[in-house]
Amino acid sequence: MPETKIISNAKSPMVEIDFSSIKCPGSVLSICEHAFLGHINIRGSLDNSKFAAAAKKSLGIDLPREANTFVEHNAKTILWLGPNEWLLVCDADGTANLVETLKSNFEDIFSAVTDVSGGNTILEISGDRARALLLKGTPLDLHHSVFSKGQCAQTMVAKTGMTLWQVSEDPVYKLIVRRSFSDYLGHWILDAAREYHEE
């Protein structure tokens, strides 16, 4: 998958990491960065029906109530982060408007909407070895009977945190890492993938 690391005046958090140096067929292991997306942190309580309604009005879909799950709607992914916290991932272009829409619909409702787009980047990891690669660093059980499509989790990977979700059973995983840790994680992944080269 082609990666865009630099656009006119922006650099992706993993600008120095070259995942194409992993010499594996894509069916074995494929990794790419999805930089420059919109990331919006949403806080509020679903016990407050006004908040739930305002969120649905803004997003066109209910915020996921069930722990460790995410929903996708209209090119937006909404991840459950905690009992009163979600992360919305969307196209960069619509981010500012969406923040404003949410804020205005939440007016007077106890809530918080924060643009955190600059602080995150997303990796997509797929292939037969995707699960094995992640297991080198995460204590989470990724067996399909435990963690499968539609699920997400915040956990550790190597010595940093990540938000992980599974988008297909193939498996295809996506994960969010904080910008300042992303170069570290990139190096960690390049190292972890070494044993799968030319497999």
Using CB under 8 A, list all residues that contact other proteins.
9-13, 15-16, 35-36, 41, 43, 67-68, 81-85, 110-112, 114-120, 132, 135-141, 143, 146, 153-156, 158-161, 178-181, 183-184, 187-188, 191-192, 194-195
Helix (H) or strand (E) holding 122: strand 120-126
Comparing CB distances to other proteins, the nearer of 60 and 83 is 83
Comparing CB distances to other proteins, the nearer of 53 and 67 is 67
- For residues 38, 21, 180 and 130, what is the CA-based torsion angle, rounded to 10 degrees? 70
Distance in Å, CB of 102 to other proteins, minimum = 12
Comparing CB distances to other proteins, the nearer of 54 and 81 is 81
- DSSP-based three-state secondary structure for 38: strand
Distance between CA atoms of residues 195 and 198, nearest Å: 9
Comparing CB distances to other proteins, the nearer of 59 and 162 is 162
Distance in Å, CB of 16 to other proteins, minimum = 7
Residue 136 · residue 189 · CB < 8 Å: no
Distance between CA atoms of residues 5 and 3, nearest Å: 6
